[in-house]
Amino acid sequence: MLGKNEDFSKQREKMVRQLRRRSIKDERVLKVMGEIPRERFVLEVDLRYAYADGPLAIDSGQTISQPYMVAAMTECLELTEGDKVLEIGTGSGYQTAILAKLAREVYTIERHRGLSAKALDVLGELGIENVFATVGDGTLGLPDYGPYDGIIVTAGAPDYPAPLKEQLANGGRLVAPLGDANFQTLKVLKKCDAVYSERNVCSCKFVKLIGEYGWN
């Protein structure tokens, strides 16, 4: 039976090759995804599927997104080393870890206290220290620490939460899956001098974004 201390390096290499075939082009994103141990963020029972290209269940009825979706959303943010990022939905902490390796600071919000604590434990064990986590309604964002160069929403919403648009820096990107409860489209919203432009990336399916500016 596989354990979290097993060597998963070959599985990571295979995952990165698959991401390349699926048109992920950002070399910084690919490099980091080849380094972060995804197996540390999944449930023990799912270790054999840690690098399969599909979502997996985690605690509190949430999921860890499939590797392709993590890579695609991260690539859409177009992060640089000096950027400040806001993540809505810490979840397992895997996406958080990817962001933390690509940006200067990551602020992350999770509504489930247990998930947040567990994610922080794993991030700490991996030596990732540029993450600032809080528990609360992610649809409200964290205005005290904004504006943000990138905002990523890791749950499906009916529309962009208005507070998140307001907390986006000039030139910043907001990446979110928007649609109904069963089907969403991954979208990228870019802000330029108070003017917003939008593009569609791909179809997707996420758990609901719960909060004042999401689903009740």
Residue-wise pLDDT for 1-28, tens only, equals 455 567 899 999 999 999 999 999 999 9
Q: Tell me 141's DSSP state.
A: -
Residues 183-194: pLDDT tens digits?
999 999 999 998
User: pTM for this structure?
Assistant: 0.93
Give CA separation, 179 vs 33, 68, 182, 206, 208, in Å: 28, 20, 8, 10, 10
CB atoms within 10 A of CB 13: 12
CB atoms within 10 A of CB 114: 11
Residues 63-73: pLDDT tens digits?
999 999 999 99
State residue 6's pLDDT score. 75
Q: 60, 65, 116, 203: which is the annotated catalytic residue? A: 65
Residue 203 a catalytic site member: no
CA angle 55, 59, 65 (to 5 degrees): 20
CATH architecture of 9-204: 3-Layer(aba) Sandwich (3.40)
Domain layout of the chain by residue ranges: 9-204
Residues 80-127: pLDDT tens digits?
999 999 999 999 999 999 999 999 999 999 999 999 999 999 999 999
State residue 182's pLDDT score. 87
